[in-house]
Structure 1
């Protein structure tokens, strides 16, 4: 036991190093582009599932700066407006999602890690029942659209 708390932690008996296994913060963006929601498909994913733009913060940057950088790196778009949607747990990946709404401009040019993108009408987008999907659903509700959720198998 570490720190006398209830949670058991892995600790090296030789050096005393503790593996905390804390969740990793992940940034996500609901990108509003040309009156639509832009979703992208990761080149490593099988099938044709599209998702929010996500990424990790770098040392010394704020969440807002980090998601603006990720949007630029992955889509070449410039975030003209960024607003926090909320913070969501994603237990399966041991992550905490920090989600933003981003109004973006520019010409889409995807990074090599993304295979393709699609623009969805607000009423046509399907939310997934997990971290970033809940962020997208909350943003849709805030705009007067009732989100639809896909079934996960």
Structure 2
């Protein structure tokens, strides 16, 4: 954001409460752009046989991840998880369980993660171009973003 959305004055870097923020230089405006993180919903979608890992058309060739989508204004995160599962994979959620909430500062996002038990036949939308079904015992997370949700889900499954 380069200009104030209220008065169109250029924004300047300004020290506010110990943080550098983009703020309106207009004397009467007072707009401050806080650049708050964007809420993202992530789903570990499980079918018979394993977890769906998908490849987004804009990602590097060998990178697959769980399903994600942006939370719409006024949308409940659980409903978003079900909607994105249907939109991206053509799968219907049978059950949904909140796994946790994870900061993803690398993308300025907050991830709200669910485990979804789903049914149906996978048909990818235009955002995805490939998928794999990974048995849970072969699934491995990573140490940031959606990988943290995978790690927590695997740890939860391992407990008796």
| TM-score normalised by length of structure 1 | 0.88
**Residue aligning to 1:11:** 23
Aligned-CA RMSD value: 1.3
Matched, 1:71 2:95: no
Q: Which runs of 5+ in 1 are unaligned?
A: 146-153
How many residue pairs get matched?
143
Q: Give the whole-Å Cα distance in 1 for the aligned partners of 2:124 and 2:135.
A: 20
Matched, 1:44 2:46: no
Q: Give the whole-Å Cα distance in 2 for the aligned partners of 1:132 and 1:112.
A: 21
Where do 1:81-96 residues align within 5 Å? 81-96=95-110
**Residue aligning to 2:4:** none
**Residue aligning to 2:136:** 122
Q: Give the whole-Å Cα distance in 2 for the aligned partners of 1:130 and 1:60.
A: 27
**Residue aligning to 2:75:** 61
Contact persistence 2:43–2:115 (CA under 8 A): yes
Q: Give the whole-Å Cα distance in 2 for the aligned partners of 1:45 and 1:7.
A: 32
List 4+ stretches of structure 1 deviating above 3 A.
none
Out of 130, 133, 141, which is 2:147 matched to? 133
Q: Which has the larger radius of gyration?
A: 2
